[in-house]
Structure 1
Amino acid sequence: MDLEELRRRALRVHDLYDELNLQEHGRVWTREEFMLGFMGDAGDLAKLILAQEGVRSDRPDSRAALEHELADCLWSVLILAHRYGIDLESAFVRTMEDLEKSISARLDR
């Protein structure tokens, strides 16, 4: 699956969440609420990474839980990019090019 296919799949789930939230709460999530959801997922991911490394024992350290949280975080990033009208593929390419140049210049010193 390429990035565009991932984006389309993420948007289908986003639309389902909108439908569910309208049904259950009478409104959809704002961009700010999506960001807060992402922060919660990132926190859960951090705890799972710590469990994987043996630093925490109060969280499940299963590979499935880690995969799930990584996928949740990717979903959130794809949705936030969509909600802010960002071409994530182009932004990623530009950012990686900038980082490669910056890091290479520092290594050449």
Structure 2
Amino acid sequence: MQERAREIRTRYAEVEASTYGRSWTTEEIMLGFLGDVGDLAKLVQGKAGVRPRDDLDEALAHELADCLWSVLTLANAYDVDLVGAFTSTMDELDEALSEG
């Protein structure tokens, strides 16, 4: 997934450079992620019956994928080993839960 996210980010950077004269900064990618999280929150409300829409399941899956792409892209930008970080974080949480 990280490689695919990198490929798409590279293509976006090319479009941004031709459109805006430069590619997005990591701060701008983060702001885009925040917008996606807001959209995701509205879709979660939809699943709770507060904001229904006809294409809710499809839209929810799309927005979750958008959010994941942003996380993968930020991890790549900051050289974070996301697999390693996820594994160690889950191990820490598992240990904390086991300790009660």
TM-score range, shorter chain: over 0.9
Alignment of 1:8-19 (within 5 A): 8-19=3-14
How far 1:31 sits from its partner (Å)? Answer: 0.7
Query: Deviation at 1:61?
Result: 5.2
* 1:103 equivalent in alignment to 2:89: no
Q: Deviations over 1:18-54 (max 9, x none)?
A: 0000000000111111111111101100100101110
CA distance in 2, matches of 1:56, 1:80: 30
Corresponding pairs, count: 100
For 1:3, the equivalent position in structure 2 comes to none
Does structure 2 retain, via aligned residues, the 8 Å contact 1:51–1:60? no
**Does the C-alpha gap of structure 1 residues 17 and 68 become closer, same or farther in structure 2, counting only changes over 3 Å?**
same
Take 1:12 and 1:71, find their aligned partners in 2: how far apart are those partners?
15
Q: Does 1:20 align with 2:23?
A: no
- Give distance in 1, aligned partners of 2:50 and 2:99: 35
Q: TM-score, normalised by structure 1?
A: 0.87
Segments of 5+ residues of structure 2 without an aligned counterpart are none
The alignment-based identity, stated in percent, is 51
Read off the aligned partner of 1:49 and give its amino acid letter. Answer: V
Could you list the runs of 4 or more consecutive aligned residues of structure 1 that deviate by over 3 angstroms after TM superposition? none
Alignment root-mean-square deviation, CA: 1.1
